[in-house]
Amino acid sequence: MKEINELDLPEGLRYTEDHEWARVTDENVTIGISDYAQDQLGDVVFVEMPASGDQFKKGDEFGTVESVKAVAELYMPIDGEVIRANQTLEDAPELLNQSPYGDGWIIEIKPGDASQLETILSREAYLKMLQES
């Protein structure tokens, strides 16, 4: 497992206490799991994702990630409607380990209330939370 200072935590993303990240792209928000989450899970073998059109409220479970070690639930960082899921993960779930912020994104949503992004953690606040746990 990586030390906290070895984690890849890009600037410009928002992070949740459940280890999801959110990136604003134009009018939409892309969501995935953090480097910390994929490192803790180990080798990812399966990702369950919602369908386009599914709607969720902040905090709702929207899928699961299964690894050789555990199954982890995925939680919505903000309200939104799923525009698309990363279908590549069905055949290549290991992308969550290899590129959690790139090819390993999980879903893209149309936000219900984009101001909710301000209520989730900045990179600095997320890093502080990890250091304190």
52 belongs to a structural domain = yes
33 belongs to a structural domain = yes
37 belongs to a structural domain = yes
- For 32, the domain range is 14-113
| Cβ atoms of residues 72 and 37 within 8 Å | yes
3-class DSSP assignment, residue 41? helix
54, with CB counted inside 10 A (0-12, 13-18, 19+), is middle
List per-residue pLDDT tens for the chain, 133 residues long: 899 999 999 999 999 999 999 999 889 999 999 999 999 999 999 999 999 999 999 999 999 999 999 999 999 999 999 999 999 999 999 999 999 999 999 999 999 998 999 999 999 999 999 999 8
The total domain count for the chain is 1
7 belongs to a structural domain = no
51 belongs to a structural domain = yes
92 belongs to a structural domain = yes
65 belongs to a structural domain = yes
pLDDT at 25: 87
CATH of the domain at 19: 2.40.50.100
pLDDT at 26: 87
pLDDT at 105: 98
130 belongs to a structural domain = no
pLDDT at 79: 98
Residue closest to 24 by CA, chosen among 83, 111, 127: 111
The two structure tokens encoding residue 17? 């206490």
pTM of the model: 0.96
